[in-house]
């Protein structure tokens, strides 16, 4: 059993932001921090006070997190980025909202005294003595303190206050992970204050000291317990009067917290087997369970349910069969060919998820070069005469206005070139398309052709394929390349218009140049020659795409099974040290890295021969490195053991915070089951004779910060988590259990529900009754896994962060 938490985050847009630039505008972006740890950075939207991002993220993290904060920043090319404001949501707030937080939130001013982070290790005890008892406070160490100085560190000291007396520790220079091991004693007097205040400060020689956070301890609880020790989370200074909200604008967010208790694999086997039996019998008909699940699933959660079901069946090797069953359901209730797969049914949503999970790398190979070319050219493109802007053209100071006809002609030439290049790349990609995708489209093509065999419907099977491949996969990726990881930044207004027109042209080709499509936007007529040619190319491509026999499919799958699946790849900079002693120098060298489920490898280029760098089973931690360690940001460290068992550390630099978090997330996910994972690590480097983070001189010293192996970002190519997917499906079915029982009563005409015993491997005669029985069994297992209620005896413990 394991407890898991996840945050579904959608950063929609901002409005009425203040102007930070001289021109009266801003270049806003968002940074998302969980407990002061940056995990997400949106793209920058240039020159606007009302930015739209529309970016979605799924973050997996430990259940012990406290807050998630959204900082709106203004990007500056020549100086430090400006902070516009922030929105902070606590875990308790999100836990109290079952459907999550959705709506606009006012941005609040960022107060340095409230921007605290980190924890402090204290030992508190009450000692007897004459003439009275004494309160002993030992300040041992702190970790992850906020860096307040320009060198990326702080000079922390601790101030302990009790009953009018104040004592201070020594100052530890240039460290966010200080160790003091100093003890202070205070006399416990009758009627004295019941609060001990421990404050952390950053010492400054010239300016005033910076506040780093504080802990307020209830002395009565310490007296009752006699002794307490642990890590205490530093809190902001809330003694100041609450300031009124300024005119900093608003941020529209959708944030949802989910806590799941995942049982062991064996607990979910009855549910998984029941669903798999339904799918395996799909060739005999749609069955009962999947249609009932679709019927009882609301529109708002259909995409989530479709994704969970798809991943479950992918893990069981039944994704093609599951989708084929959905195709049968959709075709069975469709009478008009022109409405086929046009609704947001479970079949449509499942195919969308399937293409993203199984075909994202294929999409990048086809669309990547075309999208890059559009971004690089940055040409002004417009086909709608009502939107044409006349531009100045010419050279050598001789400018003349470009006529509307010239703009339209040049735009048509540009779009025809882009569309032609895309269609050519698509037609060459048959062999590059994953075998499971081709086999699924083969099933779809056959089912549709069987359902609509007439000559007048000869294009319907092709349109069924393109409704997913073009309309629901390629076109959205063309319009929003950032959301499909094709680009790191959003397109500007000019490039966005070019991409939109290109997506419209792809949709027209996907609709087989239907008259309805042409009638909607007559100004797209200049592209018609290329569209008509594209229709012929696309039909030829689909004919070859679905022409895959079971033997070829199995051979491709067998070939893939012999290869370690690629998890992530891309250029990184690896740290190299030259020389020894005080004259040693360091630098970063650019290499191409590849991460599979077996090893982390590198090569000089993406096409060069790869050399195994770190075996996956040897990874012990993947964590961030303090910026001050190398004077560079976005550096991570991979802690591992070499072939003879010696501990080693590799330092790799990424180009941005998102790439850093994506690599950390990928490394953590593929090594999560390693038995030798570390619980702590050093965020600095061992330079000279000590660690740069905590100044300890023992190289093998226990780490001064806790590892974050459970903090990961969800990606489409994540390794499948069978138990989690089964738990998510169980939770959904539990939420619609009343509807399932009602449906069962309607079908059986009885009021009692029970399971029907069957032989092993045999499908139950009453699958819905069997499903309800499985849900009841899982409910009992979850109830037995809940922690026992707390004892009624007095319990005096402080809030410890372990």
pLDDT in tens, 614-644: 999 999 999 999 988 888 889 999 999 988 8
How confident is residue 789, by pLDDT bands cut at 50, 70 and 90? very low
Which pLDDT does position 601 carry in this prediction? 92
Q: What is the per-residue pLDDT across 718-753, written as a single tens digit (0 to 9) for each?
A: 878 888 899 999 999 999 999 999 988 888 764 444
The rounded mean pLDDT for the chain is 86
Which pLDDT does position 801 carry in this prediction? 37
Whether the Cβ atoms of residue 364 and residue 566 lie closer than 8 Å to each other: no
131 preceded by a cis bond (ω within 30 of 0): yes
For 613, residues 6+ apart whose C-beta sits below 8 A from its C-beta are: 593, 599, 600, 601, 602, 650
609, 576, 575, 615: which is closest to 595 by C-alpha?
615
**Other Cβ atoms within 10 Å of 620 Cβ, number:** 20
> In sequence order, what DSSP letters do the residues of 402-465 get, joined into one string?
PPHHHHHHHHHHHHHHHHHHHHHHHHTTTTTS-HHHHHHHHHHHHHHHHHS-SGGGTTHHHHHH
For 663, residues 6+ apart whose C-beta sits below 8 A from its C-beta are: 568, 572, 595, 622, 636, 652, 654
From edge to edge, which strands make up the β-sheet containing 712-713? 101-106, 250-262, 2-15, 52-61, 712-713
Tokens standing for residue 519: 């009638």
Which pLDDT does position 756 carry in this prediction? 45
517 pLDDT higher than 80: no
| Fold match, 2-109+248-258 / 360-390+402-559 | no
Q: What is the per-residue pLDDT across 529-544, written as a single tens digit (0 to 9) for each?
A: 999 999 999 999 999 9
Q: What is the per-residue pLDDT across 641-700, written as a single tens digit (0 to 9) for each?
A: 988 889 999 999 999 898 999 999 999 999 988 999 999 999 999 988 899 999 998 888
pTM: 0.84
Alpha helices for 200-285 (secondary structure H): 219-225, 265-280
Whether the Cβ atoms of residue 777 and residue 755 lie closer than 8 Å to each other: no
Q: What is the per-residue pLDDT across 336-392, written as a single tens digit (0 to 9) for each?
A: 888 888 888 899 999 999 999 989 999 999 999 999 999 998 888 999 888 888 764
55 pLDDT higher than 70: yes
Using CA atoms of 344, 349, 352, 355 in order, give the dihedral in degrees to the nearest 10: -150
Q: Mean pLDDT throughout 80-92?
A: 92
Domain boundaries defined on the chain: 2-109+248-258, 119-233, 360-390+402-559, 566-713
Q: What is the per-residue pLDDT across 245-262, written as a single tens digit (0 to 9) for each?
A: 568 899 999 999 999 899
Which pLDDT does position 206 carry in this prediction? 84
CA distance 758 to 761: 8
CA distance 683 to 737: 48
Whether the Cβ atoms of residue 728 and residue 308 lie closer than 8 Å to each other: yes
How confident is residue 137, by pLDDT bands cut at 50, 70 and 90? very high
Name the strand (E) or helix (H) holding 54: strand 52-61
Which pLDDT does position 94 carry in this prediction? 94
For 422, residues 6+ apart whose C-beta sits below 8 A from its C-beta are: 366, 367, 370, 502, 506
3-state SS of 689-706 is CEECCCCCCCCCCCCCEE
How confident is residue 802, by pLDDT bands cut at 50, 70 and 90? very low
527, 416, 503, 510: which is closest to 465 by C-alpha?
510
Identify the CATH class of 2-109+248-258.
mainly beta
CA distance 288 to 294: 10
Whether the Cβ atoms of residue 178 and residue 145 lie closer than 8 Å to each other: yes
Q: What is the per-residue pLDDT across 214-242, written as a single tens digit (0 to 9) for each?
A: 999 988 888 888 889 999 999 988 765 45
Tell me which CATH code domain 566-713 carries: 2.30.29.30
CA distance 29 to 200: 31
**The domain defined by 360-390+402-559 carries CATH number 1.10.506.10:** yes
208 pLDDT higher than 60: yes
CA dihedral (457, 462, 466, 468) positive or negative: positive
**The domain defined by 119-233 carries CATH number 2.40.110.10:** no
């Amino acid at each position: 059993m394991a407890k898991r938490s996840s945050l579904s985050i959608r950063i929609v847009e901002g409005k009425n932001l203040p102007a930070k630039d001289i021109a009266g505008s801003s270049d806003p972006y968002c940074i998302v921090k969980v407990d002061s740890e940056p995990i997400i950075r949106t793209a920058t939207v240039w020159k606007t006070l009302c930015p739209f991002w529309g970016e979605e993220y799924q973050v997996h993290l430990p259940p012990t997190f406290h807050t998630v904060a959204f900082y709106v920043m203004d990007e500056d090319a020549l100086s430090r980025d400006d902070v516009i404001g922030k929105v902070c949501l606590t875990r308790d707030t999100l836990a109290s909202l079952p459907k999550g937080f959705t709506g606009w939130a006012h941005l609040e001013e960022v107060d340095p005294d409230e921007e605290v982070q980190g924890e402090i290790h204290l030992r508190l005890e009450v000692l007897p003595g004459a003439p009275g008892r004494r309160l002993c406070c030992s300040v041992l160490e702190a970790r992850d303190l906020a860096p307040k100085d320009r060198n990326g560190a702080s000079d922390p000291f601790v101030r302990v206050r009790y009953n009018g007396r104040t004592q201070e520790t020594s100052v530890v220079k240039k460290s966010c992970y200080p160790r003091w091991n100093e003890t202070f004693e205070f006399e416990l007097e009758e009627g004295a204050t019941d609060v001990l205040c421990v404050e952390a400060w950053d010492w400054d020689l010239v300016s005033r000291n910076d506040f780093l956070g504080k802990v307020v301890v209830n002395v009565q609880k310490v007296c009752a317990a006699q002794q307490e020790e642990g890590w205490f989370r530093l809190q902001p200074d809330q003694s100041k009067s609450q300031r009124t909200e300024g005119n900093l604008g608003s941020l529209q967010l959708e944030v949802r917290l989910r806590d799941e208790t995942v049982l062991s694999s064996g607990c979910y086997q009855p549910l998984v087997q029941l669903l798999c039996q339904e799918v395996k019998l799909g060739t005999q008909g749609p069955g009962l369970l999947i249609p009932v699940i679709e019927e009882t699933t609301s529109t708002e959660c259909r995409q989530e349910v479709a994704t969970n079901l798809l991943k479950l069946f992918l893990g069981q090797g039944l994704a093609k069969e599951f989708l084929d069953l959905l195709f049968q359901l959709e075709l069975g209730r469709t009478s008009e060919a022109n409405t086929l797969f046009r609704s947001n049914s479970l079949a449509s949503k499942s195919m969308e998820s399937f293409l993203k999970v199984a075909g994202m790398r294929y999409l990048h190979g086809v669309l990547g070069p075309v999208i890059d070319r559009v971004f690089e050219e940055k040409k002004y493109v417009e086909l709608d005469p009502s939107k044409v802007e006349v531009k100045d053209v010419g050279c050598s100071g001789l400018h003349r206005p470009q006529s509307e006809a010239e703009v339209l002609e040049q735009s048509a030439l540009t779009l025809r070139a882009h569309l032609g290049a895309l269609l050519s790349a698509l037609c060459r990609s048959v062999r590059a398309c994953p075998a499971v995708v081709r086999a699924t489209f083969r099933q779809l093509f056959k089912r549709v052709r069987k359902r609509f065999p007439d000559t007048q419907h000869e294009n319907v099977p092709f349109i069924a394929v393109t409704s997913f491949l073009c309309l629901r996969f390629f076109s959205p990726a063309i319009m929003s390349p950032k959301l499909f990881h094709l680009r790191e930044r959003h397109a500007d207004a000019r490039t966005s218009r070019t991409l939109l027109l290109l997506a419209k042209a792809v949709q027209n080709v996907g609709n087989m140049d239907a008259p309805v499509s042409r009638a909607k936007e007559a100004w797209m007529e200049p592209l018609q020659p290329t569209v008509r040619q594209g229709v012929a190319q696309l039909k030829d491509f689909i004919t070859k795409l679905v022409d895959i026999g079971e033997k070829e499919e199995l051979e491709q799958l067998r070939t893939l099974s012999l290869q370690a699946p690629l998890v992530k790849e891309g250029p990184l900079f690896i740290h190299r040290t030259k020389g020894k002693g005080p004259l040693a120098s360091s630098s970063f060298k650019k290499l191409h890295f590849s991460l599979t489920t077996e090893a982390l490898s590198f090569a000089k280029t993406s096409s060069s021969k790869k050399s195994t760098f770190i075996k996956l089973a040897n990874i012990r931690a993947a964590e961030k490195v303090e910026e001050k360690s190398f004077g560079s940001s976005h550096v991570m460290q991979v802690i591992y053991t070499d072939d003879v068992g010696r501990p080693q550390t590799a330092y790799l630099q990424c180009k941005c915070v998102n790439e850093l978090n994506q690599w950390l997330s990928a490394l953590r996910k593929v090594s999560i089951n390693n038995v030798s994972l570390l619980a702590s690590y050093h965020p600095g480097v061992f330079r000279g004779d000590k660690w740069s983070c905590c100044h300890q001189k023992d190289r093998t010293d226990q780490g001064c910060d806790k590892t974050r192996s459970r903090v990961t970002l969800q990606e489409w190519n994540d390794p499948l988590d069978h138990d989690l997917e089964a738990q998510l499906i169980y939770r959904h079915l539990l939420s619609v259990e009343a509807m399932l029982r009602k449906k069962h009563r309607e079908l059986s005409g009885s009021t009692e529900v029970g399971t029907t015993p069957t032989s092993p491997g045999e499908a139950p005669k009453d699958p819905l009754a069997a499903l309800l029985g499985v849900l009841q069994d899982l409910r009992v297992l979850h109830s037995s896994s809940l922690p026992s209620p707390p004892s009624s005896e007095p319990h005096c413990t402080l809030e410890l962060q372990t």
